[in-house]
Structure 1
Amino acid sequence: MKVVVQRSKQAKVLIQGEAVGAIDSGLVLLVGITHDDSEADVRWMADKVANLRIFEDESGKMNHSVSDIKGELLSISQFTLYGDCRKGRRPNFMGAAKPEQAEKLYDSFNETLRALGLTVETGRFGAMMDVELVNSGPVTIILESGM
Structure 2
Amino acid sequence: MIVKHLEQIIRTPDDVDAPTWNSRRLLLAKDGMGFSMHDTLIKAGTETLIWYQNHVEAVYCVEGEGEIEVIGGRTYPIRPGTLYALDGHEKHYLRASSQLRMICVFNPPLVGREVHDENGTYPASTANQA
Q: Please indicate, yes or no, whether the TM-score normalized by the shorter chain is above 0.5.
A: no
Which TM-score applies when normalising by structure 1? 0.29
Larger radius of gyration: 1
Query: Which structure dedicates a bigger proportion of its chain to strand?
Result: 2
Bigger relative contact order, structure 1 or 2 (CA pairs below 8 A, ≥6 apart): 1
Which TM-score applies when normalising by structure 2? 0.31
